[in-house]
Amino acid sequence: MIDSLDYSLYETEPESRNINPNYKSLEKWVTAYLGPATAEFHNISDKKYAALRDENRNAIIPHLNKEFDGKLFYLSVKGCGAQEDMFFGGKLTADKLKAACRDPSYFHLLKNIKSNSGFIMGESWMGESPYGAQGYINGFDELNFSSIGNLDSINGAHLCPAIGLVQLPKNIEKVAKKFFWCRAYDNHFYQVIRLVPSNIRLYFESTQVIANPKSIFSLFEINSVEKAESFELNFIKSGIALLTLYARSAKIEGKQISGIIYKDVWFDKDCVVAPDGIIHFADIEGFIWKNSSQEEYDKTIKEEWQKLVFEFLYALIKIDSYRHTLNERNLEWKIQREELALLIHHALNKDIFTYAENRNNNLLIIIEGDSLPSVEIPLIEMVN
Amino acid sequence: MICERALEILNSILAATDIICSYEEISELANFNLISYFTSKKPSISLKYDLKGQKNQFIRLNTEIRDSYRTLMSMEADLKNFRLNYKLKKEINLLKVIIKSKEEKAKRLKDQILLLTIEKETYKRAVKVNGKKVVLTPLGNTLINEIQVRRRFYSRELSDLIDVIRRLDEEFGKIINQIGTIMRTSKFSPIWALYLINTNMLNLTHIMNDITMSEYSYNKAQMKMMRLSFYLMSHPEITIPRNLGSANMLDSEFKNRYEKYAPIQQLNEMFINAGISTFKIQKAISLLSRLFSVWVSKDNQNEQDLNEYLNNLGIFVEFKGDLPIIGKNSSLFEHLNQEIDEEMLYVFITLAYSTNLDAYNYFYNLFKEVLEGSKFFSSIGSLFPWDPEETWMILLRAQSNILKAQSAKFIPELIEYALLMVLNPNILAIENDITQEQLIKWKSLIIPTIHLSIYSYLEEDLETYIKRRPLAYIIAPAYYHHSMLHYHAVG
User: Cβ of B371 and A74 within 8 Å?
Assistant: no
Contact B474/A at CB under 8 A: yes
> How many residues can be counted in chain A?
384
Residue A206 lies in a domain: no
For chain B, the average pLDDT equals: 83
DSSP A374: P
The pLDDT, as a whole number, for residue B265 is 77
- Residue B311 predicted with pLDDT over 50: yes
CA dihedral of residues B29, B31, B32, B38 (deg, nearest 10) = 60
Q: Of A273-282, A366-375, B80-89, B269-278, which range is least confident?
A: B80-89
> CA B64, CA B72: separation in Å to the nearest integer?
12
Model pLDDT, residue B130? 67
Average pLDDT over every residue of B51-74: 91
Q: Report the complex ipTM.
A: 0.80
Within the 7-36 window of chain A, which residues sit less than 8 Å (CB to CB) from chain B? 7
The amino acid occupying position A106 is Y
Which of A207-216, B282-291, B464-473 has maximum average pLDDT? B282-291
* DSSP string for residues in B235-274: -TTSPPP-SHHHHHHHHHHHHHHSPPPTHHHHHHHHHHHT
- Side-by-side strand order, sheet with A287-293: A251-253, A256-262, A287-293
Residues in B closer than 8 angstroms to A352, CB to CB, are 70, 73
User: Which of residues 127 through 156 in chain A touch B, CB cutoff 8 A?
Assistant: none
Q: Are residues A144 and A66 in the same domain?
A: yes
Name the helix (H) or strand (E) containing A164: strand A162-167
Name the domain boundary from A139, A167, A196: A196
Determine whether the interchain pair B138/A330 forms a contact, defined as Cβ–Cβ distance below 8 Å.
yes
Position A356 in a domain? yes
- pLDDT reported for residue B41: 60
Look up the pTM and report it.
0.63
Give the best residue of A56, A342, A344 to mutate against chain B (max B CB count within 10 A): A342
A279 and A242 in a common domain? yes
Angstrom distance (rounded) from CA A89 to CA A206? 19
CB contact under 8 A, B473 and A328: no
The Cα–Cα gap between B338 and B331 comes to 11
Q: Compare CB distances from A335 to B118, B477, B484 and report the shortest one's residue.
A: B118
Separation CA A243–CA A229 (nearest Å): 21
- CB contacts of A348 in chain B (<8 Å) are 62, 66
On whether residue A203 sits in a domain, the answer given is no
pLDDT band at B103 (very low <50, low <70, confident <90, very high): very high
Of A1, A53, A338, the CB nearest to B477: A1
pLDDT < 70 positions in chain A? 1-5, 202-216
Q: Do residue A138 and residue A217 come from a single domain?
A: no
* Helix segments in chain A, DSSP class H: 36-41, 94-100, 136-147, 170-176, 213-219, 225-243, 245-248, 267-270, 294-326, 333-347
Amino acid at A207: T
Are A160 and A37 members of one domain?
yes
**Is the per-residue pLDDT at B429 higher than 90?**
yes
Range B263-268 average pLDDT: 75
Per-residue confidence (pLDDT) for residue B39, from 0 to 100: 64
Q: Which residue type occupies A98?
A: K
Which residue would you say has higher pLDDT here, A40 or B116? A40
> What is the pLDDT at residue A200?
78
* C-alpha closest to that of B7 among B150, B164, B165, B168: B150
Q: How many domains does chain A have?
A: 2
pLDDT digits (tens, 9 = 90+) for B180-204: 888 888 878 888 999 999 999 999 9
Transcribe B402-469 into DSSP letters.
Answer: HHHTT---SHHHHHHHHHHHHTSHHHHHHHS---HHHHHHIIIIIHHHHHHHIIIIIHHHHHHHHHHS
Whether residue B468 has pLDDT greater than 80: no
At A209 the pLDDT is: 34
Q: Is the dihedral of CA A30, A35, A36, A42 positive or negative?
A: negative
Q: Are residues A229 and A356 in the same domain?
A: yes
Q: Do residue A260 and residue A374 come from a single domain?
A: yes
- Looking at A161, A196, A231, the residue that finishes a domain is A196
Q: Which of A196, A229, A247 is the last residue in one of the domains?
A: A196
Interface of A with B in 213-232 (CB under 8 A): 214-215, 218-221, 223
State whether A247 and A154 are in the same domain: no
Choose the weakest-confidence range: A173-187, A211-225, B113-127, B164-178.
A211-225
DSSP string, B195-234: HHHHTT-GGGHHHHHHHHHH-SSHHHHHHHHHHHHHHHHH
Q: What is the pLDDT of residue B411?
A: 53
Cross-chain residue pair B114–A339, CB shorter than 8 Å: yes
What residues 151-210 of chain A have any CB closer than 8 A to a CB of chain B? 198-200, 207-210
Cα dihedral sign for A215, A221, A226, A229? Answer: negative
Tell me, yes or no, if A328 comes closer than 8 A to chain B by beta carbon: yes
Spatial separation of the C-alpha atoms in residues A256 and A261, rounded to whole Å: 15
Distance CA B392, CA B115 (A): 33
Specify the pLDDT at position B58.
Answer: 93
On whether residue A202 sits in a domain, the answer given is no
Indicate whether A201 belongs to any domain: no
Q: Give the E-state strand segments of B27-165 in sequence order.
A: 35-37, 127-129, 132-136
The one-letter code for the residue type at B344 is M
pLDDT for residue B489 is more than 80: no
- Asked if A149 and A220 sit in the same domain, the reply is no
One domain for residues A173 and A249: no
> Do A44 and A176 fall within a single domain?
yes
pLDDT score for B473: 36
Is pLDDT above 90 for B273?
no
Instruction: Please tell me the predicted confidence (pLDDT) of residue B470.
Output: 39
d(CA B258, CA B458): 27
Same domain, A190 and A226: no
Range of the domain at A356: 213-380
Yes or no: say if A272 and A280 are a contact pair by the CB < 8 Å rule: yes
**Do residues A259 and A139 share a domain?**
no
Q: Classify residue A240: in a domain, yes or no.
A: yes
| Per-residue pLDDT band at B480 (split at 50, 70, 90) | very low
Contact of B206 with chain A, judged by CB distance below 8 Å, is answered with: no
Q: What is the pLDDT of residue A210?
A: 41
Element (H, E) at A63: strand A58-68
